[in-house]
Amino acid sequence: MTSYGKQKRLLVAVDCIIFGFDGQELKVLLIKRGFEPERGKWSLMGGFVQPDESFEGAAERVLKQLTGLEDIYMEQLYAFSRPDRDPIERTASIAYSALLDINQYHRQQLRHEFHAEWFSLSQVPDLIFDHTEMIDMAKEKLRYKAAIHPILFELLPQKFTIPQLQLLYEGVYETDFDKRNFSRKILSLKLLVKQKDKDKESSKRGAFYYKLDKRRYNANFNSFLNFIAKPHNLK
């Protein structure tokens, strides 16, 4: 047997879901699709897997070609394979997701050919095909990971304010927390080390900077899990 000649063709694509935090909001990166169908509509960064590349290699290539971003660590999310997901031809898409600090990548200018643009998660426009479903699934995975790993702290600068931390959690969980309750809860865990200086750009009084005490974080891991696993307690 030298071929599978009786089998029908199935195209394989990749789509990249890139979340980013800019210090104020959690956002997702989108482009305008450059070909039919749905040309000119907002889309995730996607493209077809070539015969000589892996899924991971295809995702890295597509992201760089369409946005200019490179050296981004992406994890495979899910294989979207509904038969009618693409109106032209049967296409399965392997979705990849990433989470990054937007400010760390400001030197990598976004490419303008495809109008790459960061959108707040609360203002995502209508997307092509099943890309909204992809983003929703990626958000759920992000929340799960945030509940078992300190990944959100990695998006913050070395020293940060409690309002900055609150904005990040509100973006991930898409909810509003009461400021006093959030501050009281996070400080009660004794995971943060208060600094002497303040951020005076956000308010007249200023907000003290804090640093994460990684030693205490590891020791109080279970308490931290209970804290972020029940965000409704902070309203």
pLDDT digits (tens, 9 = 90+) for 181-234: 888 888 888 889 999 998 877 666 788 999 988 887 777 766 666 666 665 555
More confident residue, 82 or 6: 82
Helical H segments across the chain, by residue range: 55-67, 131-146, 162-173, 179-188, 214-219, 221-229
pLDDT digits (tens, 9 = 90+) for 150-192: 788 888 888 999 999 999 988 888 888 888 888 888 888 888 9
Average pLDDT, the chain: 89
98 and 12 Cβ atoms separated by less than 8 Å = no
The Cα 163–Cα 112 span in angstroms is 33
Residue 9 is classified by DSSP as P
Token pair listed for 113:
């050919």
The pLDDT value given to residue 214? 80
SS3 233: helix
Note if the bond before 150 is cis, omega within 30 degrees. no
pLDDT digits (tens, 9 = 90+) for 107-156: 677 888 889 999 999 899 999 999 999 999 999 999 888 877 778 888 88
The pLDDT value given to residue 230? 62
The pLDDT value given to residue 149? 77
Q: What are phi and psi of 182, to 5 degrees?
A: -65, -50
Q: How far is CA 205 from CA 199, 200, 202, in A?
A: 9, 7, 9
